[in-house]
Structure 1
Amino acid sequence: MAAHTSMLHIRVDDDIKEQATAALTTMGLSVSDAVRLFLRRVVVDQAFPLELKVPNAETQAAMEESRAMMASRRKGENRFASADEMFADLEKNSGK
């Protein structure tokens, strides 16, 4: 059975919409996705939802690294040739 949907029209300052669109894109969401998520959380929690924030530079770098690693795995590529190589990399990058 198809879900019934409704169109929601809102007025937003152009500058706010542009800035919000940029921030949401960084989070992997469209404005429509964000509004749907917002409304669903209001329904589920019966409260105003918590604020989503744009990840800081370190978190964004980690997310990009993770995406690249997943893409490599999908292609059948291994990041390390052996467990020893993986542990050596962990040691090197752990700050010890």
Structure 2
Amino acid sequence: MARSAMITARTETELKAEVEGIFKTLGMSTTEAINIFFRQVKMRQGLPFSVEIPNKETLQTFRDTEAGKGLVKNKDAKDMFRKLGI
């Protein structure tokens, strides 16, 4: 049987609750998600995603999106493609 090690980490209460809700929707525990992350780091020999500082334009787009600014709602994919001229 594999030995287990305890990990203790601090994070924001709100962030933890939101992320745990996502894991629950996916049918997994926080422990399972952390183990998946660790296995991916081991397999890839690094983080399984890129870590970058967004440029000013990207940051503004994030802010606009969070504020609901400049969003276009579509009934369905066909409506979206029509609005895009595709």
Q: Tell me the TM-score normalized by structure 1.
A: 0.48
Alignment of 1:15-26 (within 5 A): 15-26=14-25
Deviation at 1:45, TM superposition (A): 1.2
Structure 1 or 2: larger helix share? 1
Runs (4+) off by over 3 Å? none
Q: Tell me the TM-score normalized by structure 2.
A: 0.53
Query: SS at the partner of 1:23?
Result: helix
Alignment of 1:76-87 (within 5 A): none
The amino acid across from 1:28 in the alignment is G
Calculate the aligned-residue CA RMSD, in Å: 1.6
Separation in 1, partners of 2:3, 2:23:
26
Deviation at 1:50, TM superposition (A): 4.2
The amino acid across from 1:46 in the alignment is Q
Identity of aligned residues (%): 26
In structure 1, list runs of 5 or more residues that go unmatched. Answer: 52-96
Query: SS at the partner of 1:12?
Result: coil
Separation in 1, partners of 2:27, 2:46:
24
Separation in 1, partners of 2:24, 2:32:
10
Deviation at 1:27, TM superposition (A): 1.1
Number of positions where the alignment pairs a residue of Structure 1 with one of Structure 2: 50
Separation in 1, partners of 2:47, 2:39:
10
In structure 2, list runs of 5 or more residues that go unmatched. Answer: 51-86
Answer with 1 or 2: which has the greater Rg: 1
The amino acid across from 1:18 in the alignment is A
Alignment partner, residue 26 of structure 2: 27
